[in-house]
Structure 1
Amino acid sequence: MTYNFLTIDRLPPALIANALAACLHVASSEVDVADADGNQDERNWDAQVLCDYSDAGGHVSQSLDIYIQDSVRHRPSEADLALAFSAATNTVTLYPAEEQIPSAYWLATPERLVTRVRLLPSDDETVSYSIDAAEAHIPQLPEVRTIQLPEIIREHPVPVPTASAFTSAVSSLAQPGGGAVTPRLPAELESAVDRARAYLSEWERLTRRMASGWQPTGRYPADMYHAALLSRDHLNQLASDLPEPIVGLLREALDQLDSEFRKLTQNDNGQEIAKVTGSSQFDLLKRDWWWRRRPIELPW
């Protein structure tokens, strides 16, 4: 099992070894720590825990690659080990997030604060890292700005079964052709259906994120919420343009999602949406009903 950590402080090998021993419940003699670019001849390759460290620059001073043998019984998650290691060394530790975004990292502090950060590496021969932003204030790095990180939310997978069912139902509206039954639509109509699927997926992702308590971070940018409301506007227009029976399938899907949206929001006559979008509340009162509702649990 391997762990990849970055630390904002440069830690002496003895401190790293003692901290890993305590965190992984092994003897200090069973932890081998060495400079990745140094002499490897005298290493204890049979140690239960092997750790290579390298120097870095910028907000990050050190990179740690940790490998534990199968014989180590205590095998914490990367998140749990990072928290324990931060406390044991009194430093800030970063580790990669699950999303396939190079800049997506978690950060743990000795005080057990855990937050998401955007980490940007340089193109220099010796890599220098910049913590561009974090979702919570980091006492050890007061200069780092605190903002929501929308790329985390955009990359987080959200199932859209209602939109998928709509797409499947439209595909099943087959037309005879060439002796076979194949799902074919005129090009213009197919383009409208594709737009309906995309807007419906966006509307469904919003409702499912609300229902989940705004996973994965508990936050949601107001501009993304605004974009979802615009998607609902587009769906309303498409519902008046599409022919039957496609429009019936779309309205059926919308009825399901709109019902869920109503359960998760409350009517405030557009006051909150006007505030976060810079719109006029008076103008919102003239728009469709979804513009006049705010999430019961505000995520911004």
Structure 2
Amino acid sequence: MAYSLLEIDRLPPALIASALAACLHVSSSEVDVADADGAQDERNWDAPVLCDVSDAGGHVSQSLDIYVQDSVRHRPSEAELALTFSAATNTVILYPAEEQIPSAYWLATPDRLVTRVRLLSSDDEAASYSIDAAEAYIPQLSQVRTIQLPEIIREHPVPTPTASAFAAAVNSLAQPGEESAAVRLPADLESAVERARAYLSEWERLTRRMASGWQPTGRYPADMYCAALQSRDHVDQLAADLPEPVSGLLREALDQLDSEFRTLTQGDGGHEIAEATGTPHLDLLERSWWWQRRPKELPW
């Protein structure tokens, strides 16, 4: 099993070895730590735990590439190892997040704070890193700004079965059945249906995120919430413009998602959205009913 950790503070090899031994439940003699760019002749290549240390710059002092053999019985997740290693060495540790974004990282502190950060790397030959932002205040890095990271939310996969079912139902209209001929959709209508599916998907993602407690971070920016409400506006217009039976299928999908949205929200006349976004309250009062409701659990 392999792990990739980044250290804020520069640590001596002996401390790295003892900390890894404690975290992996092995003896220090079973851990080999060495400079990745140094001499390799005297390394213990048979050690159950191998750790290559590379120098870095900026907010990161060292990177650790750790390789753990199958003979080591305790092989924690990367998140668990980062947290225990941070406590054992009394330093801040970063490790890659699941999203396919180069800047997406998790950060762990010795007092067990875990938060998401945006880590930027330079294009220089020598690695240099900058923590551009974090979703929680980090005492050890007080100069780092604290903001919500929208790219994490955008990249988090959210299934949209209702929107998929709508698209499948429309597609079935174009397939000849046993009792009726296929309905041929004009090219412009196909484009409108695709837009309806896309906007419906955004509306569905909002309801799924609310229902999940705002996964993956528990946070959701107010401007992204309003963008989903705007998608609902677009779906409403398309439902009025599309011909039957396509319009009816879209309305059925909307009714289902609207019901879920009502369950997860409460009416407040648009006051919360107005305050969170700086939108004039009178402007929101002129909009549709979904603009007059706020999440029961505010994520911003």
The normalised TM-score by structure 1 is: 0.97
TM-superposed CA distance for 1:287, in Å, is: 1.2
Match of 2:7 in 1: 7
Q: What does the per-residue CA deviation read over 1:94-129, in whole Å, with 9 as the maximum and x for residues that have no partner? A: 000000000000000001000000000001110110
Distance 1:40 1:101 in 2: 33
Distance 2:184 2:49 in 1: 60
TM-superposed CA distance for 1:225, in Å, is: 0.3
Match of 1:265 in 2: 265
Match of 2:194 in 1: 194
1:162 aligns with 2:162: yes
1:27 aligns with 2:27: yes
Match of 2:277, as an amino acid? T
- SS of equivalent residue, structure 1 residue 140: helix
Distance 1:288 1:296 in 2: 19
TM-superposed CA distance for 1:278, in Å, is: 1.8
Distance 1:183 1:213 in 2: 41
Match of 2:116 in 1: 116
Distance 2:240 2:133 in 1: 43
Match of 1:231 in 2: 231
Match of 1:252 in 2: 252
TM-superposed CA distance for 1:258, in Å, is: 0.2
Match of 2:212 in 1: 212
1:39 aligns with 2:42: no
TM-superposed CA distance for 1:174, in Å, is: 1.5
8 Å CA contact 1:82, 1:93 repeated in 2:
yes
TM-superposed CA distance for 1:280, in Å, is: 1.5
8 Å CA contact 1:266, 1:293 repeated in 2:
yes
With over 3 angstroms needed to count, the CA separation of the structure-2 counterparts of 1:175 and 1:63, relative to structure 1, is: closer
Match of 1:96 in 2: 96
Distance 2:84 2:270 in 1: 46
Distance 1:266 1:220 in 2: 17
Distance 1:28 1:232 in 2: 59
1:72 aligns with 2:72: yes
Distance 2:54 2:183 in 1: 58
Q: What does the per-residue CA deviation read over 1:39-85, in whole Å, with 9 as the maximum and x for residues that have no partner? A: 00110001010000000000000000000111100111100110100
- SS of equivalent residue, structure 2 residue 205: helix
Match of 1:156, as an amino acid? H
8 Å CA contact 1:171, 1:183 repeated in 2:
no
- SS of equivalent residue, structure 2 residue 141: coil
Distance 2:82 2:184 in 1: 54
Gaps of 5+ in 1: none
Q: What does the per-residue CA deviation read over 1:157-214, in whole Å, with 9 as the maximum and x for residues that have no partner? A: 00000000000000000266xxxx7774211101100100000000000000000000
Identity of aligned residues (%): 83
Match of 2:73, as an amino acid? R
Match of 2:33, as an amino acid? V
TM-superposed CA distance for 1:277, in Å, is: 2.1
Distance 1:93 1:183 in 2: 59
- SS of equivalent residue, structure 1 residue 249: helix
With over 3 angstroms needed to count, the CA separation of the structure-2 counterparts of 1:46 and 1:191, relative to structure 1, is: same
Match of 1:170, as an amino acid? V
8 Å CA contact 1:2, 1:67 repeated in 2:
yes
Distance 1:142 1:184 in 2: 61
Pairwise CA RMSD of aligned residues? Answer: 1.0
Distance 2:274 2:229 in 1: 12
Aligned residues: 296
Match of 2:149 in 1: 149
Match of 2:197, as an amino acid? R
